A and B are shown apart, each in its own frame.
Chain A
């Protein structure tokens, strides 16, 4: 069975600094996708970045990058130049690319950006 683990319930970062949010996963499927979502207090899950299990390079999207270490089964999110608007819950998620109807989420990390 697939499992996502986020070990940091809460993180603090100073505005304009970089922060890394940890995510480890466990799966026996060879083909899978890893996702990071941001959830502000409004509740909507906002897609940030995607990494496929066969992708050779780490994904990047603007200030977001994903540090993908396949052998260690980790997919950490790096946010550079943090902004006050980055304060939110962040969820790591995984989906088997063949059995694609079930996306599993971690417990989330609450990020607070300090001015």
Chain B
């Protein structure tokens, strides 16, 4: 089975620009979660998508938005980039059953975003 793939691996953007990061979930998984990991810190939950709808959100402003597609892949969009948005962005896929139980997360290798 294929794992979680993220693209691009590295990205440099200018403050004020917009960026789109992409994630292909693991085969058989229907849920995608996005995390921001600043240098030297643990990952922080941004949001989760299940059945193409946002299914929970962390403490991030509305300029962080996302999409999930019918094939369960996902995009993270960040508008009006700020210097503090520089981080590793991790995508994790999982399978959520109809009863709401969620099984293990599989993480991708991340996209390293640098805002200058």
Q: Chain B interface: which size bin? A: 20 to 34
Least distance between B2 CB and chain A CB atoms (Å) = 14
CB-based contact B42/A105 at 8 Å: yes
Q: Is the interface of B mostly helix, strand, loop or mixed?
A: strand
Q: How many residues of A contact B (CB 8 A)?
A: 24
Tell me, yes or no, whether B92 is within 8 Å of chain A by CB. Answer: yes
CB-based contact B42/A45 at 8 Å: no
Given contacts A91-B43, A103-B33, A104-B45, contact A44 B110 (CB under 8 A): yes
The 6 A-B pairs with the shortest beta carbon distances in the complex, nearest first, are A101-B56, A105-B42, A45-B107, A101-B48, A43-B110, A100-B102
A–B Cβ pairs within 8 angstroms, 7 of them: A43-B88, A46-B107, A50-B104, A91-B43, A100-B101, A101-B48, A105-B44
B contacts, CB < 8 Å to A: 33, 35, 40-45, 48, 50, 55-56, 58, 88, 90, 92, 96, 100-102, 104-110, 112
4 further A-B contacts with Cβ under 8 Å, apart from A47-B105, A103-B45, are A43-B90, A101-B45, A101-B55, A104-B45
